[in-house]
Amino acid sequence: MSDVQLIHYQWDFLNSESKKALLLGGIGTGKSTCGAFFVLKMVSEYPKSKGLITANTYNQLINATVASLTTTLDLLNVPYKAVLGGANKRIEILDATIYLYSLDRPDSIRGIEVGWWWSDESGFTTLEAVQVCRGRLRDSNGPLYERHTTSPNGYNWLYDEFENMDGDNITNAKALYRGVTKDNIFLPEGYYESLLEDYGGAENPLAKQELFGQFTNLGEGAIYWAFNRDVHVQPCKLDERYPVYVGQDFNVNNMEGCYVQYRDGTFYVTQENILTYHGANTDSAASKICEDLLPKYKPLVVPDSTGKAIKSSSSGRSDIEILRRYGLEVVSTNNPFIRDRQNTLNIHMKKNSVIIDPSCKTLIKELETISSRDKEGQSAHVSVALGYVTWKIAPLKKQKKSFKQQQL
């Protein structure tokens, strides 16, 4: 066979031992070619296992995905037989049989069993179709690997499953590998630079998606426009010398909040609390705060001020009264206008004075995905809680009464 050169992220993807792996890449990063090499690897290592290749539509399957595979096979002089007509579409490579299906009709996939699966351009299909294919992964002759090669397509099921699963976060279950267009040394000279100029520079959301393989919100109206994962998401821990501000949002069966410290002009968000089980209430949140923080730290709860009224509790006490009955100090506050709260958080992020621990996955998702089209009360809670804290300590507009930072 001919010598083959691979880019570092292609090599990592091909040699991944995670059950589910995603190669997320921009234009010209060799995603489909990498998928073709994955097929060859499976055929070589698991010749008795049947495989599955899918794409979103029949035209995409035949004209792009299968075309990339057969081009690679021809280049390497590997014999194959492609059956592209009729109901039983397949490609036979050496002694292995690989089924070919489009995902626009996922129910047609039921009834087969395979030992591995490659899905091309998975970011443009539905989770329902993916789940059908996952149900086919049960041929014990194969490794039961699930592989995706795709460009990003907004914040969809791929984001939910794979974001944060790269680098040191890779597990035996999931792995994310990201391909960047400029890293492909085999592209024509000036190709990347020309596209970068067309897309309006590296900070343009379209460039982030199409050239850097990043999940981004291409729609207008992103509320937290100043959030940048690369800048604002860093490991951070609590410091015993400072109080812990607990931003707390109140909802029935959904109590969400976060722990924040304000040190040297920077907000450090070290942990989020997500209590979404049936029956979760203010008692649940108060108990969790006490368990996490007392007696080592001094918690100061900065709540949704509507908690002064009886809201999420059936005990007859207000949310604020319940917090105080647990011995928690509750800061006196009044909710700002929503826009003022959001703008305050944006300004602090723009100044790079907000650091969020990677464990705060719900908060990070909210900051990345919430747009002006969403109803905040239904789509966001932890970011709201953080907004209460930043507004109370360092508001965009001056409050009538100052609130001084305490140091223990």
Residue given tokens 């009709």 in the structure block: 105
User: DSSP alpha helices (H): ranges in 61-165?
Assistant: 67-75, 127-134, 157-162
Strand partners, 93: 80, 96
pLDDT score, position 3: 66
pLDDT score, position 275: 93
User: DSSP alpha helices (H): ranges in 78-181?
Assistant: 127-134, 157-162
The phi and psi torsions of 9 (rounded to 5 degrees) equal: -75, -30
pLDDT digit string (tens) for 310-363? 555 556 789 999 999 999 999 998 888 787 898 899 889 989 999 999 999 999
User: What does the alpha-carbon distance between residue 65 and residue 227 come to, in Å, rounded to a whole number?
Assistant: 35
pLDDT digit string (tens) for 126-158? 999 999 999 999 999 999 999 999 999 888 999
H or E element at residue 2: none
CA nearest neighbour of 402 among 171, 393, 360, 192? 393
User: What does the alpha-carbon distance between residue 322 and residue 288 come to, in Å, rounded to a whole number?
Assistant: 13
Amino acid present at 59: N
Residue given tokens 């794409």 in the structure block: 55
User: What does the alpha-carbon distance between residue 245 and residue 234 come to, in Å, rounded to a whole number?
Assistant: 19
pLDDT score, position 110: 86
What is the pTM assigned to this prediction?
Answer: 0.67
Handedness of CA 247, 404, 270, 218 (dihedral sign): positive
pLDDT score, position 182: 94
User: What does the alpha-carbon distance between residue 351 and residue 261 come to, in Å, rounded to a whole number?
Assistant: 17
Give Cα 2 to chain centroid, integer Å. Answer: 38
Amino acid present at 219: G
Q: What's the length of the chain?
A: 408
Six-digit token string for 125: 């299909």
pLDDT score, position 252: 78
pLDDT score, position 285: 94
Query: Which residues in the chain land under pLDDT 70?
Result: 1-3, 219-221, 308-315, 373, 397-408
pLDDT digit string (tens) for 88-104? 999 999 999 999 999 99
Amino acid present at 330: V
